[in-house]
Amino acid sequence: MKLKVSELKKHLNQLDKKQLIQLIAELHKTDEKAQQFFMMQFNREDATIDLLERTKKSIDKNYSMGPRGQLYLDFPKIKKEINEFEKLSNDLEKTTDLQLYFVESGTEFTLTYGDIDERFYNDLLNIFVKVIDACENNEKIFEHFENRLYKVVSRSENIGWSYGIAMEQLYSSLSHLYENE
């Protein structure tokens, strides 16, 4: 049975400051997500960069080939890590960086090992849509990632399952590309 937030608050209100500090310290010791949460609260910029780099390493580890040459990619795990990063950091630019990194890594993985399957490319495209949305809604983010966007789209050009075509269409939908014409 889960403890509801209202019940938790009731119990916490009964504790004195010393007991609260002790309880929070114990939570910090025993739960990695709690450690990340507290780092983000008290040391935001350094913690965000650290978490960004750790999540990128996790993405790298998740792109691998199995013993029979089959792709091993735990997309639900990666998607969860990206979502957790987004919630913890509340930093759209760094979240977009992470999402674009995922798409770049998947594109490079394909170029290294050959065509994968439609589901794989759909997973990449679903994340790329989020990148494009962030860039469309925030010109600063677009300007920051403009070169990387162009490069990943160019690199995807000859990839099968219409992946390259879809990447180009999404990229071309960015209104910022046409503002100076």
pLDDT in tens, 27-43: 889 988 888 778 777 87
pTM of the model: 0.81
Domain shared by 47 and 25, yes or no: no
Which residues in 147-180 are b (16+ Cβ under 10 Å) and which e? eebeebbebbeebebebbebbeebbeebeeeeee
**Mean of the per-residue pLDDT values of the chain:** 90
Note whether residue 105 is domain-resident: yes
Helix (H) or strand (E) holding 64: strand 64-65
What is the phi/psi pair of residue 65, to 5°? -105, 135
* Residue 26, Cβ density class (10 Å: 0-12 exposed, 13-18 middle, ≥19 buried): exposed
Residue 24's pLDDT band, with cuts at 50, 70 and 90, is confident
pLDDT computed for residue 68 by the predictor: 78
pLDDT computed for residue 181 by the predictor: 61
Lookup result for tokens 């025993």: 30
Give the total number of structural domains in the chain.
Answer: 2
pLDDT computed for residue 40 by the predictor: 73
pLDDT (average), residues 89-106? 96
Note whether residue 3 is domain-resident: yes
**Dihedral, CA atoms, 59, 107, 153, 145, nearest 10 degrees?**
20
pLDDT computed for residue 63 by the predictor: 83
pLDDT in tens, 39-52: 777 877 888 999 99
Note whether residue 53 is domain-resident: yes
Find the domain containing 13 and state its range.
Answer: 1-30
Contact 181, 173 (CB under 8 A): no
Note whether residue 37 is domain-resident: no
Domain shared by 6 and 57, yes or no: no
Domain shared by 114 and 160, yes or no: yes
64 pLDDT above the threshold of 80: no
